[in-house]
A = this chain, B = another copy of it.
């Protein structure tokens, strides 16, 4: 049963939190920023949310016009996606993410979804504007993403692309480690925790878009 409590405050901030202030709500929005996702994909991305709470949140967000159910790519099934109003949360969620990286690390074991790493990548990347345009195909935890590096901007899209300079298969945590310390690329490739196909230097350019700050960070 969805939550019904309210802050009873006319202020816009309070009204926003009446809608997306309940536990897990903004993390669900984060997951849907890059692409629609199905119930089981959300469970996989947010392994610590229990299924009843996830169902409650999705119902609540749908009733409040933040998300809606639509047809999934694979026919016959449905996926949750942001409404136009829900999409307006994007700068807020990204802002929270940038603010939160300065918080103390959470205790292990700690989850990390593909969306989390990719959103961090988009926001933290500072590609050299003079570097050659690069397209990477990422196979991250069972889904395929396209990362485009051009004009001093890094952009992530869900799905395949026709032409990629290189392809990288990894899980989100490993990619996060690589972004923190690109020098581990060779070892990771050697021990099989990642797989690279194509132009290795393209992957290397991708990893080096994150400015180094000496002390490691996690998305």
Contact = CB atoms under 8 A, between A and B. Distances in A.
Contact of A11 (B13, B89, B113): B113
B9 A103 contact: no
Interface stretch (A17-25, A160-168, A187-195): A17-25
Interface string A190-204: 000000000000000
B21 A9 contact: no
Interface centre among A14, A46, A111, by most chain B C-beta atoms within 10 angstroms, is: A14
Interface string A138-156: 0000000000000000000
Q: How many copies does the complex hold?
A: 2
A10 B48 contact: no
Interface in A1-42: 6-19, 21, 23-24, 26-27, 30
A176 B10 CA distance: 10
A106 interface: yes
Nearest to A115: B11
A116 B27 contact: no
A77 interface: no
Interface string A80-111: 00000100110111011111111111110111
B89 A17 contact: no
| Number of chain A interface residues as a range | 35 or more
A14 B100 CA distance: 7
B64 A11 contact: no
Contacts of A173: 10
A154 to B, nearest CB: 16
Contact of A95 (B92, B116, B120): B92
Given A12-B96, A12-B97, A14-B116, 7 more contacts: A7-B48, A8-B106, A9-B27, A10-B105, A15-B105, A15-B106, A18-B103
